[in-house]
Structure 1
Amino acid sequence: MSYKILVTGGAGYLGSTLVPDLLAAGHQVTVVDNFMYRQASLNQVCHYPNFSVVKGDIRVESVMAPLLKEADIIIPLAALVGAPLCNQDPVGATTINHDAIAMMLKLLSKQQWVLMPTTNSAYGTGDENNFCTEESPLRPISRYAIEKVAVEKELMAFENAISFRLATVFGMSARMRTDLLVNDFTYRAVNDRFVVLFESYFKRNYVHVRDVSRVFQHGIANFDRMKGQIYNVGLSDANVSKKELCETIQKQVPDFVFIDAPVGKDPDQRNYIVSNEKIEATGFQTSVSLEAGIAELIKGYTMIKNSLYGNV
């Protein structure tokens, strides 16, 4: 079935992978983005007659109201993503990551669907075994995580919504981000041949950007039985520490060197093992392994060698 889908921030890291997939599946897609990174990541989909693009700010009601009115499904990707960027622009972090979503929810009818990415960074250190399910208490520390927790609560009060708590995303995308952990460490392995680790024993979960696109499509196809729920989304075999991640990269970049140092601190103190059983019980399975994503990144970094592609 074909839907009218509004994707905010659709030219970003997630959107520039998701939007082409939605168009290829036959949906009518409208993207609203402020193009703050001057990206041209959706050039390849302009030939689709069912693709529309609006340059605008999601915080402006006069921009959003007519776009929301026409949509069957809303996928709000627009955000200042990550603790460093939110610390750089705390006002923007609140107005974009929270206030704009709250405004959007007030403008929607009960018949419209919302599928939104949130984050599992708010789990902090989990329980005594660092194990987290969707029922685990949230301990957000950074402004980014705090705003995401607040907006998820409001999202779940909306009748037709799904929250995908994404693991740390990795992989090549048309609007690349080199500052995400797997992407960053692989970049350093390819270009610098070394990295200095802090809190190297901290574990977290990972998911490939193409699997993020797939889970949104899965949510659309199975919306009636998944709505009103929160789902962790990640690779169940990739709950690994920073050191284990480096060891995995080293298998493909043998001269990569990594050392521990007693400096640095994760702003969200992310150290957890995440269960993805709930999303897997709906029939969803990830398709891109950590190793395959690293191999893809190594090829991509043959073409990219600068810092233009990070958020900070």
Structure 2
Amino acid sequence: MSYNILVTGGAGYLGSTMVPDLLNAGHKVTVLDNFMFKQTSLNHVCNNPNFSVVKGDIRLEKVMAPLLKKADIVIPLAALVGAPLCNLDPVGATTINHDAITLMIKLLSKEQIVLMPTTNSAYGTGDENNFCTEESPLRPISQYAIEKVGIEKELMQRENAISFRLATVFGMSPRMRIDLLVNDFTYRAVNDRFVVLFEGYFKRNYVHVRDVSRAFQHAIVNFDKMKGEIYNVGLSEANVSKKELCETIQKQIPDFVFLDAPVGKDPDQRNYIVSNAKIEATGYKTSMSLDAGIAELIKGYTMIKNTQYGNV
């Protein structure tokens, strides 16, 4: 079945992978994005007659209201994502990550479907045995996670909504993010050949960007049996520590060196093991391993280098 889908922030890291997948599945997709990073990540779908694009701000009712009226499904990806960016602009983080979504929920009819990405960083930190399911207490540390927890509570008062608590995403995308942990460590391995770890035993869960897109597509097809629920979305084989992640990268880049710092703390104190059994019970399975994602990143970093200044 084909739907009219509105994807806010659709030119971002997730959206620029997800939007082509939705178009390939036969849906009509409208992207609303402010293009704050001057990205051209959707150039390759402009020839598709089922693709529409609007440049605008999700915080403005006059922008959102007419677009929402046409949508069967809304996928609100637009956000200031991650703790560092939210710390740089805490007012913007609140107005974009919370207030704009509250406005969107107010404008929606009961029949419209919302597939919302939240974050498993809401589980916070614990000891090395801190195993988390969707029922576990939420202990968000960063403003980003706190805002996402608040929005999830509002969202789940709707029957026609699903919240996906995403693991830390990795992999190549048309709008690349090198700051995400697997992407960052692999970039350092390719270009610097070393990394210094702070609290290298801290664990978290990871998931490939393509598998995130597949989770949303899976929910569209299976919405009636999945609606009204919260799901962790991650690669179950990738609940790994930072040290274990480096060891995995080292298998493909043998001269990569990583050292545990004898002093100092990681400002990101997340440490947890996450269960993805609930979404897997609906028939969803990940397709991209950590090894495959790292191999993909190594190829990608042959083509790109994250430098604004300098002659080499």
In structure 1, the residue matched to 2:137 is: 137
Matches of 1:191 and 1:127, distance apart in 2 = 33
Q: How does 1:202-241 map to 2 (within 5 A)?
A: 202-241=202-241
Aligned residues: 307
Deviations 1:63-120 (CA, angstroms, capped at 9, x unpaired): 0000001000000000000000000000010000000000000000000000010000
Instruction: Kindly state the Cα deviation for residue 127 of structure 1 after the two structures are TM-superposed.
Output: 7.1
1:199 offset after TM fit, Å?
A: 1.1
Listed as ranges, the gaps of 5+ residues in structure 2 are none
Aligned amino acid, residue 15 of structure 1: G
What is the Cα deviation at residue 159 of structure 1? Answer: 1.9
**1:125 is aligned to 2:125:** yes
What secondary structure sits across from 2:236 in the alignment? coil
1:128 deviates by: 7.6
One-letter amino acid of the counterpart of residue 266, structure 1: P
Q: What is residue 3 of structure 1 aligned with on the other side?
A: 3
* Whole-angstrom distance in 1 between the partners of 2:224 and 2:107: 22
- CA–CA distance in structure 2, aligned partners of residues 81 and 295 of structure 1: 25
> Mapping of 1:83-98 within 5 angstroms?
83-98=83-98
Percent identity reads 84
Q: Tell me, in whole angstroms, the C-alpha distance in 2 between the residues paired with 1:37 and 1:251.
A: 34
CA distance in 2, matches of 1:42, 1:70: 21
Q: Deviation digits for residues 107-142 of structure 1, max 9, x if unmatched?
A: 000000000100000101257821000000000111
**Aligned-partner SS, 1:206:** strand
Distance in structure 2 (CA, Å) of the matches to 1:257 and 1:68: 50
Aligned partners of 1:93 and 1:144 also within 8 Å: yes
One-letter amino acid of the counterpart of residue 57, structure 2: D
Contact 1:126 1:132 in 2 (8 A): no
Q: Which residue of structure 2 lines up, in the alignment, with residue 266 of structure 1?
A: 267
Pairing of 1:1-312 with structure 2 (within 5 A)? 1-126=1-126, 129-261=129-261, 262-267=263-268, 269-307=269-307
For each residue in 1:38-75, what CA deviation from the matched residue of structure 2 results, as whole angstroms up to 9, or x when unmatched? 00000000000010000000000000000001000000
Opposite residue 103 of structure 2, the aligned amino acid is M
Task: Report SS of the residue matched to 1:71.
Answer: coil
- 2:119/2:148 contact within 8 Å kept: yes
Q: TM-score, normalised by structure 2?
A: 0.97
> Following the alignment from structure 2 to structure 1, what is the Cα–Cα distance between the partners of residues 203 and 127?
13
Matched-pair contact (CA < 8 Å) for 1:11–1:42: yes
C-alpha distance in 2, partners of 1:121/1:32? 26
The whole-number CA distance in structure 2 between the counterparts of 1:38 and 1:25 is: 27
State the distance in 1 between where 2:154 and 2:111 align. 17
| SS of equivalent to 1:205 | strand
Contact 1:178–1:307 (Cα < 8 Å) also in 2: no
RMSD, matched Cα: 1.0
Query: Alignment partner of 2:302: what SS?
Result: coil
Q: Which amino acid aligns with 1:74?
A: V
Does the aligned pair in 1 maintain the 2:128–2:203 contact within 8 Å? Answer: no
CA separation of 1:292 and 1:48: change in aligned 2, threshold 3 A: same
Residue 122 of structure 1 aligns to a residue whose secondary structure is helix
